[in-house]
């Protein structure tokens, strides 16, 4: 799991080059310190953001891969070792409602496991900050709802709340499936590379339109009105029930700290 740990450190300390391009072009408020941050974090292995996240893992396991222990245990140990060794933040509490006692070493990660054919284990992960996570939304739309209603929900959410989640934002949209599957797909969409488009032309066009309309909100870097409002918008769809049109929206901050690690058995 050394490669997973390394990827976790990289996600926390090195800005994705495709995001750096946008930052380099930005000339608005706080531009200098954001650029300085990118440089210092990389040079000194310091976290880009003090909120070093809740680690969310989306694992696809080939059917012939033999694991020595449950994946949850392996990933939890990797997160504990990494967050124990680096000057990151432990941002988890043991129980959410009554005591909220802080946990050490930022465990546990959230682990989702899917099976597929073959002999590869792929781990996609997000280092997910709390501010952007609080913008996650689920809507049970009526099946007769059209694409406009889907677009309006996304635009309304970002327009009303986008400024508080460290824009320019990354938007993940899960459409169809069941309620939890839609949210899972919305999260998965946040792990996709900037600029990638859905292979289905209708969904690719939807992504393009949302990208354009969201950027027309001119929320800008830091919510201060200058520069892009979103850097990416990705959709994932699933078959769904005749009575349903699930829509889940997940939002990530400008840093979009993520990674993909693959292991061949």
Partner 1 sequence: MRIETLKAGETVLYSGPLCIMRDAAQKRLIQEMERTGKIPVDLEGRIVFYAGPAKPPPGYPIGAIGPTTSSRMDKMLEFLYRRGVLATIGKGKRTPLATELCVRYRRVYFVAPSGAAAALLSRIAEASCLAYPDLATEAVYAVEVTDLPLITAIDVTGTDIFSLEDRPMDLTRTPKKG
Footprint on this chain of partner 1 (rule: CB under 8 A): 13, 27-30, 33-34, 36-37, 40-41, 44, 46-52, 87-91, 100, 102, 130-131, 134, 161, 163-166, 222-226, 253-255
Q: At its nearest, how many Å lie between partner 1 and the CB of residue 105?
A: 10
Q: Which is nearer to partner 1, 90 or 151 (CB)?
A: 90
Q: Which is nearer to partner 1, 111 or 253 (CB)?
A: 253
Q: At its nearest, how many Å lie between partner 1 and the CB of residue 244?
A: 32
DSSP sequence for 42-90: HHHT--SSS---EEEEEEEEETTPPPSS-HHHHHHHHHHHHHHHSS---
The CA radius of gyration of the chain, in Å to the nearest whole number, is 19
Q: Which is nearer to partner 1, 37 or 191 (CB)?
A: 37
Q: Cis omega (within 30 of 0) on the bond before 108?
A: yes
Q: Which is nearer to partner 1, 50 or 178 (CB)?
A: 50
Q: At its nearest, how many Å lie between partner 1 and the CB of residue 50?
A: 4
**Separation of alpha carbons 55 and 9, rounded Å:** 12
Residues β-bridged to residue 62: 116
* Whether 234 contacts 172, CB under 8 Å: yes
Q: At its nearest, how many Å lie between partner 1 and the CB of residue 241?
A: 35
Residue 96: CB atoms within 10 A of its CB come to: 8
Q: Which is nearer to partner 1, 137 or 197 (CB)?
A: 137
Q: At its nearest, how many Å lie between partner 1 and the CB of residue 212?
A: 19
Buried b / exposed e over 34-44, threshold 16 CB at 10 Å, is beebbeebeee
């Amino acid at each position: 799991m050394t490669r997973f740990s390394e990827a976790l450190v990289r996600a926390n300390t090195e800005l994705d080059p495709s995001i750096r391009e946008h930052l380099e072009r930005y000339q608005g408020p706080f531009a200098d310190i954001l650029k300085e941050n990118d440089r210092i974090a990389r040079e000194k292995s310091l976290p880009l953001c003090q909120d070093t996240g809740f680690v969310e893992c989306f694992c696809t396991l080939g059917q012939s891969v033999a694991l020595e222990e449950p994946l949850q245990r392996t990933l939890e140990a990797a997160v504990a070792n990494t967050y124990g060794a680096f000057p990151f933040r432990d941002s988890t509490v043991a129980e959410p409602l009554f005591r909220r006692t802080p946990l050490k070493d930022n465990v546990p990660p959230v682990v989702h496991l899917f099976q597929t054919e073959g002999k590869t284990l792929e781990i996609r992960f997000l280092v997910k900050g709390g501010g952007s996570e609080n913008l996650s939304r689920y809507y049970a739309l009526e099946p007769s709802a059209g694409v406009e209603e889907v677009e309006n929900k996304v635009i309304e959410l970002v327009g009303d709340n986008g400024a508080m989640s460290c824009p320019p934002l990354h938007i993940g949209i899960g459409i169809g499936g069941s309620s939890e599957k839609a949210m899972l797909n919305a999260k998965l969409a946040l792990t996709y590379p900037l600029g990638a488009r859905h292979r289905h032309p209708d969904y690719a066009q939807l992504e393009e339109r949302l990208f354009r309309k969201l950027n027309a909100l001119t929320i800008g870097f830091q919510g201060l009105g200058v520069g892009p409002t979103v850097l990416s918008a990705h959709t994932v769809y699933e078959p769904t029930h005749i009575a349903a049109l699930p829509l889940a929206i997940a939002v990530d901050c400008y840093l979009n700290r993520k990674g993909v690690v693959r292991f061949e058995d």
